[in-house]
Amino acid sequence: MDAKLHKPTIELLSKSGVYFVVDLRWVGGSRSITIEARDLEKYVSDPVGFTAQHFGASVEDYLRWIETEGTPQCGALTKKGKRCTLSVAGGGQRDFKRWKELDGGYCQVHGGETSAEANEKRRSH
Ligand SMILES: [Zn+2]
């Protein structure tokens, strides 16, 4: 989108104490964050890019995180040479940072932990 925002209006709103809140797509729904008046144009012209940057993520990673509902996927290659994508033990809905750490690990079939082992680890932390 080619966004041309009327800056004096935005400045006036901002000086009057108006906050700009956006709903970011999030695992499990959405999350609201306040953005600075000076970031509005950037946000409007590229909401996905802006959001990814907010997480310190690449756009690709951010979108995969959303698509998989925060479920880390196995990074092993199948016999056909495709990525396995079975879940890594321990469940989905991970926050982005944890998802990024675990994504590309191994599912049970490829030598990863069983869910019992993963749950045990979660409890002991
Ligand atoms: Zn696998």
CA of 114 from ligand 1 middle (Å) equals: 12
Q: What residue spans define the domains of the chain? A: 7-67, 68-125
- How many residues appear in the chain? 125
Helix (H, G, I), strand (E, B) or coil at 88: coil
Query: What is d(CA 115, CA 117) in angstroms, rounded to the nearest whole number?
Result: 5
Q: Are 110 and 76 in contact (CB under 8 A)?
A: yes
Give the relative orientation of helices 59-67 and 47-55 as an angle to the nearest 10 degrees.
90
Determine what percent of the chain is predicted with pLDDT higher than 90.
77
Residue 60 in tokens: 């690709």
Q: Which residue bears the tokens 């040479």?
A: 81
CA of 28 from ligand 1 middle (Å) equals: 24
Q: For each of the chain's 125 residues, which pLDDT tens digit applies?
A: 555 889 999 999 999 999 999 999 999 899 999 999 999 999 999 999 999 998 899 999 999 999 999 999 999 999 899 999 999 988 889 999 999 999 999 999 999 888 778 877 777 65
Query: What is d(CA 42, CA 48) in angstroms, rounded to the nearest whole number?
Result: 10
CA of 89 from ligand 1 middle (Å) equals: 10
pLDDT digits (tens, 9 = 90+) for 48-61: 999 999 889 999 99
